[in-house]
Amino acid sequence: MGKEMTKEQYSKMVEKASPNSPIVKNCIKAFIVGGIICTIGQIITNIAKFYGASIEEAGTYTSVILVVAASILTGLGLYSKLGKFAGAGSIVPITGFSNSVTSPAIEFKKEGMILGLGAKIFIVAGPVILYGVLTSVIVGIVYYILG
């Protein structure tokens, strides 16, 4: 029997034995699905503008429609299937944000409306909200000083 293996040696062994995610394939799928979601968003915006909405209003309609649609798809168990296929393609758009709020709401509802759903609804999206707001504030201050 040889000497005991070190953690570094084992780590190298594990790296060799562990298959990597198919990055190129995943990127292509993410690009296509993410692109389709954004195109749908653009179509909604264009339709809203066609019917006389301002650019700000059209943007708001688009966000609301996409968020509600993704939330419904999550409830029907379809968004998780899309996410499995598309990865970042369905996580990055606003629909992914909707999915990340709706899915804990469904999962933790069993622990009650307050301590379950209420406390855990932002378990996935929470960091995005916190650091998103924080970044906005910092950018706002910089913009104020420079502008």
Partner 1 sequence: MAKHIGKQSMRFEKNISIVSTASTVGTKEGEGPLREYFDVILQDNLLGQESWEKAESKIASDNLKLAINKANLSPQQIDYVVTGDLLNQCCGSTFGVRGLKIPFFGVFGACSTMGEAMSLCAILIDGGGAKNTVAGASSHFCSAEKQFRFPMDLGTQRTPTATWTVTGDGAAVITEGNDHPYITGITTGKIVDMGITDANNMGAAMAPAAADAIYQNLQDFNRKPDYYDYIVTGDLGYVGKELLLKLLKEKGYDISKNHMDCGIEIFDRDRQDTHSGGSGCACSAVTFAGMLYYKLRRRIINRILFVPTGALMSPTSVQQGESIAGIAHCVVIENQEVCQ
Interface ranges with partner 1 (CB under 8 A): 1-2, 5, 7, 10-11, 13-14, 17-22, 26, 74-75, 77, 79-84, 86-87, 90-91, 96, 99-100, 102-104, 106-108, 110, 123-124
b/e sequence 102-124, b meaning 16+ C-beta within 10 Å: bbbbeebeeeeeeebbeebbbee
Residue 73 C-beta: closest distance to partner 1, Å: 9
Nearer to partner 1, 58 or 86 (CB): 86
Distance CA 97, CA 121 (A): 12
Residue 32 C-beta: closest distance to partner 1, Å: 15
Nearer to partner 1, 66 or 82 (CB): 82
Nearer to partner 1, 24 or 145 (CB): 24
Distance CA 69, CA 72 (A): 5
Residue 62 C-beta: closest distance to partner 1, Å: 20
Contact status, residue 109 vs residue 51, Cβ threshold 8 Å: no
Residue 44 C-beta: closest distance to partner 1, Å: 21
User: Token pair for residue 56?
Assistant: 């700000």
Distance CA 65, CA 69 (A): 6
Nearer to partner 1, 58 or 125 (CB): 125
